[in-house]
Amino acid sequence: MTTVRAIIRSAHGATRGSTAVACG
């Protein structure tokens, strides 16, 4: 899921906390 993670990170670069929660 590296690709998905990269997309989420790019989309929510500022929201790092949300990305971490979404990633698991």
* pLDDT tens digit sequence for 1-24: 678 777 777 766 655 555 555 554
Please say whether the dihedral angle defined by the alpha carbons of residues 12, 15, 16 and 20, taken in this order, is positive or negative: negative
Q: What is the pLDDT of residue 16?
A: 59
Q: What is the pLDDT of residue 24?
A: 47
3-state SS of the chain? CHHHHHHHHHHCCCCHHHHHHHHC
Structure tokens at 16: 């790092």
Q: What is the pLDDT of residue 23?
A: 53
Where does residue 9 rank: exposed (0-12), middle (13-18), buried (19+ CB within 10 A)?
middle
